[in-house]
Amino acid sequence: MVQRTLSIIKPDAVKKNAIGGVLKYFEDAGLRVAALKKIHLSMEEAKRFYIVHKERPFYNDLASFMSEGPVVVLVIEGEDAIARVRQIMGATNPKDAAPGTIRAAYAENIERNAVHGSDSEKSASYEIPFFFPEIEIH
């Protein structure tokens, strides 16, 4: 099934000049960039984006990290895009990330882990319109 998923190149990876590096993983896997922009989230916006984690002990630190500098937000489209993007990203903790994944290449630690990807159709349907109106997705 052709799906759309929301991905974010996080502030640590943007700082490392790794925007092109991350995009290459997705494009080399045959996935398409359907929308893309660089933005700087406020603390409040980062909290709203990650609202599902509001009870987690790392919630405030996560929102602070996600708003420390610009990010690149992407809509990725392709066959089984939600699961495939998660696979290409690698495990949340780079210590567990398989070789050849984005996080194995660029993540620093479990928080500063280079990329985000929607984890389900339900998440994607919240996260894509959070950043992109339909007319900006191609």
Query: Which residues are marked as active site?
Result: 116
Please report whether residue 4 would count as binding ligand ATP according to CB under 6 A.
Answer: no
Please answer whether residues 67 and 40 qualify as being in contact, where contact means their C-beta atoms are separated by less than 8 angstroms: yes
Rg of the chain over CA atoms, in angstroms?
14
Q: State the pairing for strand pair 115-117/32-39.
A: unpaired
Please report whether residue 113 would count as binding ligand ATP according to CB under 6 A.
Answer: yes
111 binding partner (options ligand ATP, Mg ion, none; Cβ < 5 to 8 Å by kind):
ligand ATP
Within 23-42, which residues bind ligand ATP (CB under 6 A)? none
The secondary structure of 76-101 as a DSSP string is EEEETHHHHHHHHH--SSGGGPPTTS
62 binding partner (options ligand ATP, Mg ion, none; Cβ < 5 to 8 Å by kind):
ligand ATP
Helix axes 81-89, 19-28, angle to 10 degrees: 130
Residue 99, token pair as written in the block: 């070789």
Q: Which is nearer to ligand ATP, 29 or 110 (CB)?
A: 110
Q: Which stretch binds Mg ion (CB under 5 A): 21-29, 55-63, 112-120, 126-134?
A: 112-120
Task: Determine the Cα–Cα distance for residues 102 and 23; give it in Å rounded to an integer.
Answer: 10
Q: Which stretch binds ligand ATP (CB under 6 A): 39-47, 76-84, 107-115, 130-138?
A: 107-115
What are the residues binding ligand ATP (CB under 6 A)? 53, 58, 62, 92, 110-111, 113, 116-117, 119
